[in-house]
Each structure stands twice: as structure tokens, then as C-alpha cells.
């Protein structure tokens, strides 16, 4: 291809690197040129951006060890009821 033209496979790889802020300036330029003429990769890039945004804005809450143990005991108790 040319100096700044890349194939879809490489564009996908650079898109993923860009998502994790690991792409170089040259890679970003090549990706943007590729996205200009490739609608499939534009769609992939847009999906990646949405996914990254969702993951950055998510707030997860985890159970404490005590809560996990209580849940495990309740599950085992219910399981025993249904096995009899």
C-alpha cells in the first residue's frame, strides 16, 4: 500500500492500542487516514470508543468476605432443601 495506508487488520490493532492510549502519533495518523475511507473500521472504532467510555464511567461494588460467606451459606441451605 503506501507510506500512510494500512490494511484493516493493522487498523484494528492500532484502534485497540489507541483505546488503551498505547498508539504512537504515526499509528494514529495512519489509523485516521484508514478510517477516512473504510466504513467497516470506522464502525469498529466507534464501537471501541463507546466501550471505553462505558468502562471508564462504570462504578462497581463488591461484596465483602463476610457478605460472600453469608450468600454462600444461604445458597447451600436452599440447595439442600431442593435435594431432599
| 55-81 per-position pLDDT tens digit | 888 888 889 999 999 999 999 999 998
**1 pLDDT tier (thresholds 50, 70, 90):** low
User: Under a CB-based contact definition with an 8 Å cutoff, are residues 71 and 63 in contact?
Assistant: yes
| 19-54 per-position pLDDT tens digit | 888 999 999 999 999 999 999 999 999 999 898 888
Output the pLDDT for position 6: 93
State the DSSP code for 59: -
On average, the pLDDT of the chain sits at 91
Cα–Cα distance measured from residue 67 to residue 60, given in angstroms and rounded to the nearest whole number = 16
Output the pLDDT for position 32: 95
- Dihedral over Cα of 22, 49, 38, 12: its sign: positive
Structural domain boundaries in the chain = 8-59
Amino acid at each position: 500500500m503506501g507510506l500512510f495506508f494500512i490494511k484493516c487488520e493493522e487498523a484494528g490493532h492500532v484502534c485497540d492500542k489507541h483505546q488503551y492510549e498505547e498508539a504512537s502519533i504515526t499509528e494514529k495518523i495512519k489509523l485516521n487516514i484508514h478510517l477516512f475511507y473504510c466504513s467497516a473500521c470506522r464502525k469498529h472504532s466507534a464501537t471501541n470508543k463507546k466501550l471505553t467510555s462505558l468502562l471508564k464511567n462504570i462504578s462497581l461494588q463488591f461484596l465483602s468476605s463476610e457478605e460472600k460467606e453469608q450468600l454462600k451459606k444461604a445458597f447451600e441451605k436452599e440447595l439442600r432443601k431442593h435435594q431432599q
